[in-house]
Structure 1
């Protein structure tokens, strides 16, 4: 995720669980790093509640 970010990045939009493969992304770690970088995060995760 962060390899694609630049100094102009202000928002990262990610899914908590990917639809095609059901891979669970490390949302907590991504959010922590984004906060350190001063970047906001929008997590698409309503389907994650059932899967966790």
Structure 2
């Protein structure tokens, strides 16, 4: 009976490691995609919210 428990305990960290790795890769891909879209979107940066005073 203790053999069954040790086998399931050994599989659990592997599953957690796989989930952690997949989540880290997905977050990294989302960050890189956001950076590339902002760089190559071609839209000019938004102007500041301050108004210019006439002289």
- What's the TM-score bracket when you normalise by the shorter of the two chains? under 0.3
Higher share in strand: 1
TM-score when normalising by structure 1: 0.26
Higher share in helix: 2
Q: Which has the larger radius of gyration?
A: 2
